[in-house]
Chain A
Amino acid sequence: MIVLENVEKTFENVKAVYPLSLTIDKGEIHGIVGTSGAGKSTLIRMMNLLERPDNGTVRVGEQLLTSLSDKELRKARQNIGMIFQQFQLILNRTVAENVEMPLELVGMQKKERAKRIEECLRFVGIYDKKDAYPAQLSGGQKQRVAIARALANNPAVLLCDEPTSSLDPKTTTEVLQVLRHINETLGVTIVIVTHEMDVVKSICKHVSIMKDGQLVDSFEIEPQGLNDAEDHYIEDLKRIAVAKSNG
C-alpha cells in the first residue's frame, strides 16, 4: 500500500533519515518505534510528502506521490488521513466544523456534509460533543475528533504521528481501540509512529524499528507472542551496541 524506496532526508546539517526502503502492506497496522530523534516523524511525514525526501520515491496505492504535480498531490492527500500528537484541531471551529473541513475542501454539498459528519463522529463515539469547541474537550476526546476528521474523506491510509503520546494510559488504550476498530471494520491501512513500546505491542501487526535515521529491523508480530516485539527491540539494541563497540 505504501512503498518507500531509498528515501532520505537531511535538514541543514542533520541527517534525519538515511536512505531506506520500506513497504507497508494493505490493511495492516504498522508500527514505527524508536527513541526521540530517531527520524520517525520525518519518515512518516514523507508518506504524504509533508516532508519531501531529498532522494528516493514514495508510492501510496497506485500513485507515485513524488512525481505528482501540486494539484494531483493535494488530491492524493485527501486519500491519506493524518493525526498528530498535538491533535492540531482548528480551535475556533466546533467539533462538527472540524470534521466538516476536509469535506469542504473537496467541495461536498452541505447536506451530504452534515450526514458524513454525523457518521464520522458516531464512529469514534463523540457525536454528543459535536457543538463543543476543542478547548472544552479532554485530550482523548480531541484525538477522537482528529481521527474523525482524518476519516471524513474515506482515506485508504491513516498516518499517526505519536497519536497517544500526550494521553494518559487509560485514554491511550481507548484511542488505540478506536484505531484498531477503524482498521478492522473499514480496512484502513494504519501507520503508527511512537516511542512507546506498549502501543506497538497492543495493536501492531508489523513493526519497524528506527535508530539514528536508519531502519534497523522490520518484522511481523505473531498474534500470540505479544512480547516478541519487545524481545526483538532489546535484541536489536544489543546488536547495535555490540556493533558499535566493535568499531
Chain B
Amino acid sequence: MDKIIEYQSEIWLSIGQTFVMVGISILAAILVGLPLGTYLYLSRQGNLYENKILFSILDTFVNIVRSFPFLLLVVFLIPFTRYIIGTAIGTMAATVPLSIISIAYYARLVEQSLLDVPKGIIEAAISMGASKAQVIFKFLYVEARSGLIFGLTTATISFISYSTVMGIVGGGGVGDFAIRYGYQRFETELMTFTIIIMIILVQAIQITGTKLSKKLDKRS
C-alpha cells in the first residue's frame, strides 16, 4: 500500500493520460470511423452510393492501417503527427496514431454491423419515399444500433490496449506506468495494482457496452 500512496500522483496522472488517449480515440472513431464505415457499406456494389473506385481505395486504406504492426504505424506516422500537433512526443502526439488506428478499426466494425441489416428494410424505406439520408439515419442506424454500440465497446477495449504501448513516444498512460515503475523498477505491488485497475476498467466497459447493446436490441 505504501508504494501506491507514494506514487499516487503519478498513478493519477497516468490514468488521466489513458483517459485522454482513449477518449480521443473514441471521438475519432465516432466522428470519422462511423461515417467512413457507413460510406464503405454504402459504396459497396449494389448499394445506395455504389462507387467501385472509392470503395476499393477506402477498403484498401482500412486494410493497410489495420495490417501494420501498431508500433511501426506509430513510428511511420511521426512526420504526420509532428505536422498536426507540432511535436511527435507526448500524450497529445500519441493520440494521432491512436486515432488513425481507431478510425480504421471502428470503420470495419460499422461496415459489418450495417451489412447485417436485412436488405429488405432498405427497400421498404425506399418504397416509402425515404431520401438517402433518411434511409441511413432512420432505418440503417436504427436497425444496426446494437451492433454499432457493441462494436464501439470492443473497439474501446482495443484502444485501451493500443494506448498501453504509447510510452514509446512519451504518451504515458496506465500501461506505460506499469512498465516503467512496476516492471522496470521491480515494484511488483505497483505493477499488480495498475494491472488490476486496467482489468476493472476493461470489465466495466465491456459489461456496460454489452448491457446497453442488449437493451437496445429489440430484434428478437
Chain A residues close to B by CB (< 8 Å):
48, 50, 73-78, 80-82, 84, 86, 88-93, 101-102, 104-106, 133-135, 149, 159
Contacts and interface: CB of A to CB of B under 8 A. Distances in A.
Contact of B138 (A73, A81, A104): A104
B134 interface: yes
Contact of A90 (B131, B134, B142, B146): B142
Interface of B: 118, 120-121, 123-124, 126-131, 134, 138-139, 142-143, 145-146, 216-220
Contacts of B139: 90
A60 B134 CA distance: 24
A52 to B, nearest CB: 12
Interface of B is mostly: helix
Q: Which 7 A-B pairs have the closest CB atoms?
A: A77-B129, A88-B124, A82-B127, A91-B219, A78-B129, A133-B218, A74-B129
A91 B143 contact: yes
Given A82-B124, A88-B118, A91-B218, 8 more contacts: A48-B127, A50-B127, A77-B129, A84-B124, A92-B145, A92-B146, A104-B138, A106-B129
A93 B124 CA distance: 14
A187 B219 CA distance: 34
Contacts of B118: 86, 88
Classify the secondary structure of A's interface with B. Answer: mixed
B143 A90 contact: yes
B126 A135 contact: no
A134 B145 CA distance: 16
Contact of A105 (B130, B146, B220): B130
Given A88-B121, A135-B220, A93 B142 contact: yes
A2 to B, nearest CB: 15
Nearest to B124: A88
B216 A92 contact: yes
13 contacts: A50-B123, A74-B131, A77-B127, A81-B127, A84-B120, A86-B120, A90-B142, A92-B142, A92-B143, A92-B218, A93-B218, A102-B128, A105-B130
Q: In this complex, which of A77, A81, A106 has the most chain B Cβ atoms within 10 angstroms of its Cβ?
A: A77
A188 to B, nearest CB: 15
Contacts of B146: 92
Contact of A77 (B128, B217, B219): B128
B126 to A, nearest CB: 6
